[in-house]
Amino acid sequence: MYVHKLSPEKIKALKEQIEGLSSQILLIAVSKRESAESIKIANEMGFKHFAESRLQEALTKQNSLKDLDLIWHFIGKLQTNKLKQILLNFSYIHSADSLEILIKLNQLTEELNLKTKNKILLQVKLAVDDNKTGFSETDLLNSLTIINELNNLNIIGLMTILPFGLSQAENYELFCKLKTLKEKINSKKLFNLNLTELSMGMSGDYPEAIKAGSTMLRLGRAIFLS
Ligand SMILES: *Cc1c(COP(=O)(O)O)cnc(C)c1O
């Protein structure tokens, strides 16, 4: 890991571009592979939300940054044996990708009895992609009744990662599909599933994600490689 020289001019231009496209969007700096020092610099430039995908790497950085007022998001593959540590150290979990994981999260949330519940997003796989996990649309819709009964969980929205190499039009279409899925779930009026968030958009596809209604962007390279 090395310290990137974040460029204040590029960050400013990025923020202005995003604000021009949407007035209400949470900008999350994906700091996986970045040093604690880079995170500190990004924080000085106004970033408060940071996302990590590996628990051990994240805990080391969180420990050296504990004096700063940062909000942590977990975006990596969830492993059952690490869920407790993830619940204890991250405010948001974007990558709940199976019923099994949700059931375990629900159980641990009850056991831990935290003052503030973690905010959970359901990861959805919208297109065939061997490298990515997530609920298929059908699986998710078929699981809603069970998910709704996991009432220790604070499920706030849906998250997706698109496959690489699609056109902008294809990206936009898939992001719109996630928004439609969110509306479909909300229309069922399940008491534990009133979703407000769409975590979609990375460095390569964020303009299309914003146009399709994203509420949370997860940007790594666009911030740290500027
Ligand atoms: C790495 C990563 C990102 C950020 O990707 P960039 O292309 O660097 O913006 C966003 N979301 C997830 C889940 C990631 O793993």
Domain boundaries, the chain: 8-224
Dihedral sign for Cα 92, 98, 103, 107, please.
negative
Residue identifier of the C-alpha nearest atom 11 of ligand 1: 218
How far is the centre of ligand 1, averaged over its atoms, from the C-alpha of 152 (Å)? 28
Contact 75 CB / ligand 1 (< 6 Å): yes
Contact 221 CB / ligand 1 (< 6 Å): yes
| 212/111 Cα distance (integer angstroms) | 38
Instruction: Give pLDDT, residue 84.
Output: 98
Q: Which atom of ligand 1 is nearest to the CA of 206?
A: 9
| 121/49 Cα distance (integer angstroms) | 16
How far is the centre of ligand 1, averaged over its atoms, from the C-alpha of 33 (Å)? 11
Question: Chain centroid to CA 69: how far?
Answer: 19
Query: Tokens 């279409």 map to which residue?
Result: 173
Instruction: Note the pTM of the prediction, 2 decimals.
Output: 0.96
Residue 90 backbone phi and psi in degrees, to 5: -130, 135
Q: Which fold has domain 8-224?
A: TIM Barrel (3.20.20)
Q: Output the tens digit of pLDDT for each of the chain's 226 residues.
A: 555 668 889 999 999 999 999 888 999 999 999 999 999 999 999 999 999 999 999 999 999 999 999 999 999 999 999 999 999 999 999 999 999 999 999 999 999 998 899 999 999 999 887 767 899 999 999 999 999 999 999 999 999 999 989 999 999 999 999 999 999 999 999 999 999 999 999 999 999 999 999 999 999 999 998 6
Determine contact, residues 150/102, Cβ cutoff 8 Å.
yes
Residue identifier of the C-alpha nearest atom 6 of ligand 1: 220
Question: Chain centroid to CA 51: how far?
Answer: 7
Q: Which atom of ligand 1 is nearest to the CA of 218?
A: 10
Distances (CA, A) of 89 to 22, 40, 63, 171: 30, 18, 10, 32
